[in-house]
Amino acid sequence: MATNLFNWLKQSVLGRSSCKRCLELLELITDEEASPEEVKHFHNHINECLPCYESYNLEKSIKEMLQTKLEKKQVPDDLIQSIKLKIRNNL
């Protein structure tokens, strides 16, 4: 029931130009590439628009997920030594 309502809201905002502008700004905002005016406009809008606020949270949570959950590999010990050796031989 709640999901249906949410989807209905989502559909209904697609036609609104302020939401369209907001969604265009979404990635600029989460990537920290937006101008101060754009940031202001965006936050004013999501303060009063639930579907855009949800979209913003989703975008943010995916970015966070990528940053925190992907395994970071350790550089193999011998790699740096091997590079340095090759370079010293080239000097």
Alpha-helical regions (H) of 1-91: 2-14, 17-30, 36-48, 50-69, 77-90
Instruction: List binders of another protein among 23-52 (CB under 8 A).
Output: 23-24, 27, 31, 33, 51
**Nearer residue to another protein within complex by CB, 40 or 62:** 62
Number of residues that bind another protein (CB under 8 A): 36
16 in Cβ contact with 45 (< 8 Å): no
Judged by CB under 8 A, the residue of 12, 35, 44, 61 near another protein is 61
Q: Which residue has the tokens 């809008």?
A: 45
Q: Is 69 in the site for another protein (CB under 8 A)?
A: yes
Q: What is the C-alpha to C-alpha distance for residues 50 and 61, in angstroms, rounded to an integer?
A: 16
Nearest to 39 by CA among 51, 56, 54: 56
Q: Which residues bind another protein (CB under 8 A)?
A: 7, 10, 14, 20, 23-24, 27, 31, 33, 51, 54-55, 57-59, 61-63, 65-67, 69-73, 75-76, 79-80, 82-83, 86-87, 90-91
